[in-house]
């Protein structure tokens, strides 16, 4: 089976809205009493209930309630939300092409998408959108949804925006022709040292393989021999994309994942001859936010001893959803199978105690100490499996890393959480950029120059603390003293993101990233790396 055929099949499994089901998989409904009962109930409510009802709304509630009885990931998407729900995975939408943030009831342009409609007409980072098609675009009633409703639209349609720009007199008017806007799934890629590349993927979208290959090619041209592949916080996406990216690391014929359910016969997905990084040391970073497709990649690498997995136990989402379109255009994403790693481990964590308890898992892990200490995690012997080299790994929910790195509770403490939650970081950086953008562009034209030379002054940091105080954040000296350097680094990274691009944020922060530094430590010691990983030789 060639790779194009396999991509089609896996896309059908998770990514299409076809109702075509192989006849051998269709099980006739034998319990006609059940269907008659539901039909009769809706007939009686519609024809005899005392008040006039919205039967469409009642049907939707019935669908949602029914799906909740099944598992935590089967879900219902109303017709009006279908297109929006699929944008992150489809890889594009139609609009004006800019990232924005609501700042003091005003639409602040963070950056235009390079080459997009807004970029082409000259809209710049730091611009404030004051009018849209002659309508005021500021004030309490202007929300993120308002912006989306007014700036997104069909390709080829036009929208007139009035821009306030520092140094310009009056409003600048721009007529923007909407176009298809790509949604990149890659946050960053760059070299960590002379031989080690870094790639951070935020989801497994339809275009992720192309992005990944472009990044690998560029990093190889810069001397990459080792790769740190960051899947922390990556909640998943298309099975087909997880398969093809895993294929980049594994030699032909090796199992990547298999799926199986009562009505879905086992389907094995194996690596092909294609692959841009089948040789070279590999580190995969995961944490409690890594789910689904991320766990497929991490599980396959671990079972084949292809690389070293570093971080914390992944989320444990191993259920396969297939979208089915209902007659009114709405969609049900129904769980049809489970994911299994090559060694036979089920990725899915238990959900016997209900959906609400299922989604409290992060809090429970924190409470039980798992996020801090690997010793607090207990695995029964019944869930014991072996990797290709005979190392012991466990099933039962998520991928347990080879090297555990506890959650950094000193830096990511309550003070830092409050600064994020109350918008102090972004609010301060927006004001700072409003005042200093021209100075920064003139004096820090390149990212490396900014990283090496820019530092926040003490007066500027005092202004940041004053802003935090205005937001009624309780600043304890002990927490602040522990976090001063880290808070300054966060501010610097956000300024870099605003001044350059999203990847700049990660390039500023990585020297203080414990997981990345552990990865570099492992890569430098062949004996340590070989304890976990194995280079594939053709």
Predicted local confidence at residue 7, as pLDDT: 39
Which is more confidently placed, 224 or 2?
A: 224
Residue among 80, 65, 179, 68 at smallest CA distance from 121 = 179
Same domain as 371, residue 421: no
Any domain includes 143 = yes
Predicted local confidence at residue 301, as pLDDT: 97
Residue among 219, 110, 127 at smallest CA distance from 171 = 127
DSSP letters along 164-183, please?
E-TT-SSPEEEEEE-EEEE-
Which is more confidently placed, 120 or 340?
A: 340
**Domain extent for 157:** 92-182
Alpha helices in 49-194 (DSSP H): 55-68, 82-90, 117-121, 144-151
Any domain includes 2 = no
Same domain as 155, residue 227: no
**Packing angle, helices 502-509 and 477-499, rounded to 10:** 140
pLDDT (average), residues 198-207:
93
Any domain includes 464 = yes
Q: Which two tokens stand for residue 37?
A: 């009962």
Are 251 and 278 in contact by the 8 Å Cβ rule? The answer is yes
Task: Report the distance separating Cα 197 and Cα 220, nearest Å.
Answer: 8
Domain boundary residue, one of 364, 390, 406: 406
Q: Looking at the predicted structure, is the pLDDT value of residue 442 above 90?
A: yes
Any domain includes 32 = no
* Residue pLDDT, tens place only, 127-185: 899 999 999 999 888 888 899 889 988 899 999 999 998 778 889 999 999 998 877 89
Alpha helices in 158-238 (DSSP H): 208-221
* Residue pLDDT, tens place only, 274-301: 899 999 999 999 999 999 999 999 999 9
* Residue pLDDT, tens place only, 385-429: 999 999 999 888 899 999 999 988 777 788 888 898 888 998 899
Burial (0-12, 13-18, 19+ Cβ within 10 Å), 172: middle
Strands 226-230 and 282-286: parallel
| Neighbouring residues of 171: CB distance < 8 A, sequence distance ≥ 6 | 130, 131, 162, 163, 164
Are 186 and 211 in contact by the 8 Å Cβ rule? The answer is yes
Q: What percent of the chain has pLDDT over 90?
A: 57
Cα pseudo-dihedral 388, 238, 204, 408, rounded to 10: -70
Predicted local confidence at residue 479, as pLDDT: 78
Predicted local confidence at residue 13, as pLDDT: 37
What predicted TM-score, i.e. pTM, was given to this entire model?
Answer: 0.82
Task: Report the distance separating Cα 416 and Cα 137, nearest Å.
Answer: 32
Any domain includes 81 = no
Task: Report the first-to-last Cα separation within the chain, whole angstroms.
Answer: 21
β partners of residue 190:
198
**Packing angle, helices 414-421 and 477-499, rounded to 10:** 40
- Of 16-30, 97-111, 353-367, the range with the lowest mean pLDDT is 16-30
Residue among 93, 257, 107 at smallest CA distance from 180 = 93
Same domain as 311, residue 433: no
Q: Which residues of 117-138 are buried (b: 16+ CB within 10 A; e: fewer)?
A: bbbeeebbbbbbbbbbeeeebb
pLDDT (average), residues 489-513:
94
Same domain as 370, residue 337: yes
Are 73 and 164 in contact by the 8 Å Cβ rule? The answer is no
DSSP 8-state secondary structure symbol assigned to residue 342: T
- Of 81-85, 142-146, 195-199, 466-470, the range with the lowest mean pLDDT is 81-85
Are 250 and 223 in contact by the 8 Å Cβ rule? The answer is no
Task: Count up the domains in the chain and report the number.
Answer: 3
* Residue pLDDT, tens place only, 249-261: 999 999 999 999 9
Which is more confidently placed, 440 or 17?
A: 440
Q: Which residues does the annotation mark as catalytic?
A: 292, 303, 317
* Residue pLDDT, tens place only, 341-383: 999 999 999 998 887 788 888 778 888 888 888 777 777 777 8
Q: What percent of the chain has pLDDT over 70?
A: 91
Any domain includes 83 = no
Predicted local confidence at residue 443, as pLDDT: 96
Task: Report the distance separating Cα 53 and Cα 320, nearest Å.
Answer: 35
Any domain includes 16 = no
Are 314 and 301 in contact by the 8 Å Cβ rule? The answer is no
Which is more confidently placed, 183 or 52?
A: 52
Task: Report the distance separating Cα 503 and Cα 506, nearest Å.
Answer: 6
Are 77 and 85 in contact by the 8 Å Cβ rule? The answer is yes
Q: Identify the residue whose tokens are 């700036």.
A: 151
Residue among 233, 154, 127, 51 at smallest CA distance from 498 = 127
Predicted local confidence at residue 312, as pLDDT: 95
Same domain as 296, residue 153: no
Are 248 and 272 in contact by the 8 Å Cβ rule? The answer is no
Same domain as 219, residue 157: no
Q: Which two tokens stand for residue 134?
A: 């002659």
Domain boundary residue, one of 370, 390, 406: 406
Same domain as 448, residue 499: yes
Task: Report the distance separating Cα 340 and Cα 322, nearest Å.
Answer: 17
Which is more confidently placed, 206 or 517?
A: 517
Residue among 254, 248, 255 at smallest CA distance from 274 = 248
pLDDT (average), residues 226-243:
93
Q: Looking at the predicted structure, is the pLDDT value of residue 305 above 50?
A: yes
pLDDT (average), residues 474-503:
90
Domain boundary residue, one of 147, 182, 217: 182
Task: Report the distance separating Cα 403 and Cα 61, nearest Å.
Answer: 45
Q: State which of 7-11, 19-23, 375-379, 526-530 shows the largest mean pLDDT.
A: 526-530
- Of 96-105, 288-297, 504-513, the range with the lowest mean pLDDT is 96-105
Are 174 and 158 in contact by the 8 Å Cβ rule? The answer is no
| Neighbouring residues of 217: CB distance < 8 A, sequence distance ≥ 6 | 276
Same domain as 356, residue 294: yes
Any domain includes 53 = no
Q: Looking at the predicted structure, is the pLDDT value of residue 537 above 90?
A: no
Can you give the CATH number for the domain in which 359 is found? 3.90.226.10
* Count of CB atoms situated within 10 Å of the CB of 110: 19
Same domain as 190, residue 178: no
Same domain as 167, residue 226: no
Same domain as 320, residue 224: yes
Same domain as 443, residue 359: no
């Amino acid at each position: 089976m060639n790779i194009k055929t396999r991509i089609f099949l896996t896309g059908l499994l998770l990514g299409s809205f076809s109702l075509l089901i192989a006849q051998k998989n269709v099980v006739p409904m034998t319990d006609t009493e059940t269907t008659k009962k539901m039909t009769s109930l809706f007939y009686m409510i519609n024809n005899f209930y005392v008040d006039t009802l919205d039967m469409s709304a009642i049907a939707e509630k019935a669908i949602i309630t029914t799906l909740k009885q099944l598992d935590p990931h089967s879900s219902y998407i109303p017709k009006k939300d279908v297109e929006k729900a699929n944008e992150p995975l489809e890889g594009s939408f139609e609009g004006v092409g800019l990232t924005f943030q609501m700042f003091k009831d005003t639409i602040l342009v963070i950056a235009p998408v390079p080459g997009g409609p807004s970029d082409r007409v000259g809209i710049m980072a730091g611009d404030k959108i004051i009018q849209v098609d002659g309508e005021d675009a500021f004030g309490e009633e202007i929300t993120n949804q308002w912006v989306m409703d007014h700036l997104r639209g069909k390709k080829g349609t036009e929208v007139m925006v009035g821009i306030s720009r520092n140094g310009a007199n009056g409003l600048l008017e721009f007529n923007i022709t909407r176009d298809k806007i790509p949604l990149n799934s890659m946050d960053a890629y760059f070299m960590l040292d002379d031989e080690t590349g870094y790639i951070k993927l935020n989801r497994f979208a339809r275009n992720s393989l192309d992005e990944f290959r472009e990044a690998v090619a560029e990093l190889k041209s810069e001397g990459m021999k080792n790769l740190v592949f960051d899947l922390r916080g990556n909640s998943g996406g298309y099975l087909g994309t997880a398969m093809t990216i895993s294929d980049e690391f594994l030699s032909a014929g090796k199992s990547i994942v298999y799926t199986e359910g009562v009505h879905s016969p086992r389907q094995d997905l194996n690596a092909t001859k294609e692959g841009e990084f089948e040789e070279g040391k590999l580190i995969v970073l995961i944490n409690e936010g890594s789910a689904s497709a991320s766990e497929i990649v991490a599980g396959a690498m671990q079972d084949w001893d292809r690389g070293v997995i570093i971080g914390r136990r992944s989320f444990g989402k191993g259920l396969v959803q297939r979208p089915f379109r209902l007659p009114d255009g709405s969609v049900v994403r129904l769980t049809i199978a489970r994911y299994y790693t090559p060694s036979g481990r089920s990725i899915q964590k238990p959900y016997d105690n209900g959906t609400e308890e299922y989604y409290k898992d992060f809090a429970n892990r924190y409470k039980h100490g798992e996020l801090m200490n690997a010793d607090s995690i207990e695995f029964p012997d019944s869930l014991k499996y072996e990797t290709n080299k005979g190392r012991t790994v466990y099933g039962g929910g998520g991928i347990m890393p080879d090297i555990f790195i506890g959650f950094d509770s000193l830096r990511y403490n309550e003070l830092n959480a409050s600064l994020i939650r109350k918008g102090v970081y972004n609010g301060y950086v927006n004001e700072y950029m409003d005042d200093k953008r021209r100075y920064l562009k003139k004096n820090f034209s390149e990212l490396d120059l900014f990283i090496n030379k820019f530092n926040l002054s003490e007066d500027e940091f005092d202004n940041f603390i004053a802003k935090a105080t205005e937001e009624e954040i309780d600043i304890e000296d002990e927490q602040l003293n522990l976090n001063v350097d880290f808070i300054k680094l966060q501010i610097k990274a956000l300024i870099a993101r605003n001044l350059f691009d999203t990847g700049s944020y990660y390039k500023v922060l990585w020297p203080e990233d414990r997981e990345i530094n552990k990865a570099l430590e492992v890569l430098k010691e062949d004996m340590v790396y070989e304890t976990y990983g194995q280079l594939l030789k053709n």
